[in-house]
Amino acid sequence: MPLAALIFDVDGTLAETEEIHRAAFANAFAEAGLDWTWDVDLYRELLKVTGGKERIRRWLDMLGADAPTLAEADLAALHAAKNAYYGAIVRAGHCALRPGVERLLREARARGLRLAIATTTSRANVEALLPAILGPDGASLFEAAICGEDVLAKKPAPDAYHLALRRLGLAAADCLAFEDSENGLAAARAAGLRTIVTPSLYTAHETFDGAAQVIDDVAAFDLAAWID
């Protein structure tokens, strides 16, 4: 099939951001006077749930009777504070692209391919991250950026990918998705997309049955082999 576009997940795919998210959650919890500690193992478990607010809700469920009562407005404020901390950290230069990502983006554009994002992270996070890791024109590389606020159901539901395809005006067969997790792979495949998986710090233990290719990072990805 001819290739017309590449669609990228963000967290763990474009950049190793999850430790930054974890630090941002810790800062937001401390600011709110909550003595919650999400260590690496716990956060890996919580990452099975996509979306920051959804992750907090899952944590409250895990706490059970010990959970504080948080109104929806309180939860939204806590999540907004976390996103603000995340933005401050990435703008300070504490995040980098995964190996090969910038080369692939530039090569794809040079070959006339279109680029899009399909993520379930918040738009504020994407808007903070792209200029920090790709420079002032980073966001302009992507024709469409579908974020968590844009869909009713987050990954592993395919909603983000369906919307990205509609925005691009392309069929799934014309595109290639890039993901780092089982949830992301399930979402892309449910939308009919061939998917390249680059396991990340928090997803290396997962299995990726059905991926078109599983590689350490996109530095090992040969775009020409998918086009020529």
Active site residue ranges: 9, 11
DSSP state, residue 115 = E
Task: Extract the tokens encoding 126.
Answer: 């994407």
Measured CA to CA, the distance from residue 129 to residue 139 in angstroms comes to 9
- SS3 of residue 79 by DSSP: helix
Measured CA to CA, the distance from residue 60 to residue 124 in angstroms comes to 24
| Residues belonging to the chain | 228
- SS3 of residue 179 by DSSP: strand
Cβ atoms of residues 28 and 85 within 8 Å: yes
Sheet holding 213-214, edge to edge: 144-146, 114-118, 5-8, 175-179, 194-197, 213-214
Name the β-bridge partners of 69: none
Cβ atoms of residues 9 and 59 within 8 Å: no
Q: Which of 125, 120, 123 is nearest to 51 (CA)?
A: 120
Distance of CA 6 to the CA centre of its chain: 15
